[in-house]
Each structure stands twice: as C-alpha cells, then as structure tokens.
Amino acid sequence: MIKKIQFSNTARHGLARIIARSGLCSRSQAINWVRQGRIQVNGRRIYNPEQRIATGSSRIEVNGAPLLDVPRIYLAVNKPRGLVTTTRDEHGRATVYQVLEQSGLPWVAPVGRLDQASEGLLLMSNDSAWAAALLEPQHHVIKTYRVQIRGVPEPMAFTQMRKGVVCSGEKLAVAEVSLLRSGGRTAWLDIQIEEGRNRHLRRLLNALNFPVLRLMRIAIGPLQLGNLHRGKWRHLTLDELRDLDHAAGFSRTQKYVWPQGE
C-alpha cells in the first residue's frame, strides 16, 4: 500500500533529499525537478534543492500531486558484459536499465557498480538508506568474484594480493583469494573484497601482471548469484533481505512489502 511519507514532526531536511528518500527518484533527478519548478511546498513553488523543510508539517507536491512514499523495491540482477551501471550514459552506451525494460517497476538505482566489461550479481533498489548501508566500508560486506586471469600465480603472488599494492595513491588489496583451477596460460580465482574501489580488482591484478580476462561477481554478503540467468532479474526474498540487512547492520524502519504477484 502506498502511504504518505512519514518523518519526525520536528525534523527539517533538504527538499531534494526528502524527495529522493521517498523512493520516487534519484537525488540528482530530485535536484533537477526542484530547479525546474516542478515541486511545491505548502502551495509555494521552491527552486532551491537544499531548502530546509519541516517534514512533519509540510505538504509537498510533485507536478501537482502529493509526494507519496513509494514501496521499497529490492532486486537481484545478473548483469551481462557490455552494459554500464548508470542511469544514463553520456556516450550513448547501453546501460543496465535495458535489463528492466517493460518490467513496470518504479525507479530503482544500482547499489554499487560493475564496470562495463564485468558481469554478475548487481543489486538495484529505490531504498537509498539501505543501499548506503551495504556500501559503507566499515560494515565490511564481503563481495565475492570469480575471475579468469592471464598467467598462473605462485603462492607469493597470493600473499601480495592479500597484502595489497598501491595504485595511483590508493591501496588495493583482497580479503581472501583462492585458486580454483589453472590450465595452460590462464587461471580461475575466487576473490573476496570488503570495499570496491573503482576497477579495484582489474587494477590490482594488472599491477601484479595478471591481466583480467573475465570478471564475474557471484555473491554480495550472504546473497549468491545462484542460477539467475544472464540478463535476468528477480525480487529478493524476505529471508534474503533480512540476511543482507544483518550483514550491513541496517535497522529497518519500514515494513518490507512483497511485490504484487509474488
């Protein structure tokens, strides 16, 4: 059931933040809407996205309609290679939103990223607070990757991966790494990392002279990619959501709403 968005009666927040927290759109979209004059507060049009609003006593309208609290959506997507993990791409490249075409879902955003050449498990949601908790480095939510590399590492190379290397002023390391199999000139590794810097594994492995040939994310915390086919998506189950909440130390203030038809 869609409800009026609820905040503390005394809380004051920036207008764009309030709109984004409703789950209606991204923060950047909310900023644009405010600047375009599409938002009214208590009958007055507001153009400053950072305008502080008394949320408990204010009537906010978007394009003349009351701002409602959109049911939270939590998706697992098996992202194919070749798609970028952005809402819109300035270079015209295909985005992960092609996977969701004709789904009829409300707006959702990627939780973290997978670069264009990578594939595998990607979470998408309109719950920005939940997404932020999963991405917070101090929460140590492990991401697991299956990686094919050129070359076969010796034990000392695995030690160096765990110890880390400095690339462009950033220390890049893995939490754990194991050799799955090797043959000829390539090897397959299972790698776990706690934080995902930009192109983290590609940069780390390249620095150690093991170019990445294929990179798949197969788990985020306790959530496994499983048998979800490439280019497909599904809703998270209640148990999966609870497990991810626990992994991220996320205290849920809103009841999980089962998708229609589930």
Is residue 127 part of the annotated active site? The answer reads no
Please say whether the beta carbons of 178 and 147 come within 8 A. no
Distance CA(123)–CA(235), nearest Å, equals: 10
Going by the DSSP 8-state scheme, the letter that residue 259 receives in this structure is: P
Distance between start and end Cα atoms, the chain? 15
For residue 215, how many C-alpha atoms fall within 13 Å in the half-sphere facing its CB?
A: 22
What tokens does 206 get? 């390249």
Place of tokens 């791409």: 89
| Residue partners of 3: CB distance under 8 A and separation at least 6 | 68, 69
Q: What angle do CA 138, 144, 150 make, to 5 degrees?
A: 125
| Residue partners of 70: CB distance under 8 A and separation at least 6 | 2, 22, 23, 24, 106, 107, 126
Q: C-alpha dihedral over 68, 71, 74, 80, to 10 degrees?
A: -60
Q: Given 115, 190, 243, 245, which residue is catalytic?
A: 115
The residues annotated as belonging to the active site are 115
